[in-house]
Amino acid sequence: MADPSPKPVPLLKDELDIVIPTIRNLDFLEMWRPFFEQYHLIIVQDGDPNKIIKVPEGFDYELYNRNDINRILGPKANCISFKDSACRCFGYMVSKKKYIYTIDDDCFVAKDPSGKDINALEQHIKNLLSPATPFFFNTLYDPYREGADFVRGYPFSLREGAPTAVSHGLWLNIPDYDAPTQLVKPRERNTRYVDAVLTIPKGTLFPMCGMNLAFDRELIGPAMYFGLMGDGQPIGRYDDMWAGWCVKVICDHLGLGVKTGLPYIWHSKASNPFVNLKKEYKGIFWQEEIIPFFQSATLPKDCTSVQKCYIELSKQVKEKLGAVDPYFNKLADAMVTWIEAWDELNNNTSEQTSSKQANGAAK
């Protein structure tokens, strides 16, 4: 009997890592096998490092637990959250690939309105490989998509677009709500499939969710720090949003694009709203100070690399948010530690990354 024909090589097979934070066996990967099997996985195990995490056979992966994080980062390991999915950003740091896709272990393959399985990773890659339009809104949404274009009145000087740094995907079934909304609408499910990808305009912030997210690590990786959350911290469930606010300010400064919309995943499990409320309680108040801070944040012209931008932002966090709560002084210090650890692990300096920005932003 003849050998079955080889599987087609997926997009960016050798240029993308899939990062998964978890505390449990990764049986969910079976559903994703057709889409993930040929990629390399980085699994960041949270919680008890002595627990054995089982990964289905056939996947190429490396797994890091807290002992590994402590061994690799030494004293700088204190910038990586413990007992919180924010630990995933360690995977971004140790990756050697140009692109990252991160997904939660309660996210399953969704179906489009025709009933076909959605290859979320493929759509993210398409989003990242096509330009973004942060400087002028196109009313037909993504003009680079098949069947669409720039509408009448769109400046020709801006039609080349900007490099896409982030692709933010969405969720069917369980929406990403905060605890008060969960409590008010416990049975609400998202059944609306909107077939669109939008560039978030320059100057507009958004609440980034880390459960279905892809980004260009070379363009924006050092800013994808998910903060100090979880064990020993006064706040949780703001890790991805903190990263998103930092990332958006820096993308706006460096002329990079952030997209949101397709692809959808199926979010299978609602987290406990009472547990979430305890984690979010302070953040619900603090965000009324945090968001105006980011809305008014500006970066000087000599901040030409992501690292320089991030260090400058950390200074402003300490200066302007430190008065809100001492936690923000601690967070600002952790932001600096994160950049130091990133550069040590990746053997580059802010200047090298700066030249990569300048020379390779439109690759």
Q: What is the pLDDT of residues 171-227, one digit of tens each?
A: 999 999 999 999 999 999 999 999 999 999 999 999 999 999 999 999 999 999 999
**Is 355 a member of any domain?**
no
pLDDT of 297-307, one tens digit each?
999 999 999 99
Average pLDDT score over residue span 44-49? 97
pLDDT for the residue 340:
98
Residue with more model confidence, 347 or 124: 124
pLDDT for the residue 348:
63
For residue 120, the domain's CATH number is 3.90.550
**Is 224 a member of any domain?**
yes
pLDDT band at residue 270 under the 50/70/90 scheme: confident
Number of domains within the chain: 1
Residue 362 has pLDDT above 60, yes or no: no
Average pLDDT score over residue span 13-32? 98
Average pLDDT score over residue span 5-16? 88
Q: What is the mean pLDDT of the chain?
A: 94
pLDDT for the residue 349:
44
**Is 6 a member of any domain?**
no
Q: Percent of the chain beyond pLDDT 90? A: 93
pLDDT for the residue 159:
98
Residue 347 has pLDDT above 90, yes or no: no
Write out the residue range of the structural domain in which residue 123 sits. 14-343
Residue 355 has pLDDT above 80, yes or no: no
**Is 363 a member of any domain?**
no
**Is 124 a member of any domain?**
yes
pLDDT of 108-139, one tens digit each?
999 999 999 999 999 999 999 999 999 999 99
**Is 354 a member of any domain?**
no
pLDDT band at residue 4 under the 50/70/90 scheme: low
**Is 349 a member of any domain?**
no
pLDDT of 82-104, one tens digit each?
999 999 999 999 999 999 999 99
Average pLDDT score over residue span 267-284? 95
**Is 362 a member of any domain?**
no
Token pair of 289, please? Answer: 């100070």
Average pLDDT score over residue span 298-327? 98
User: How far is the C-alpha of 123 from the C-alpha of 49, rounded, in Å?
Assistant: 34
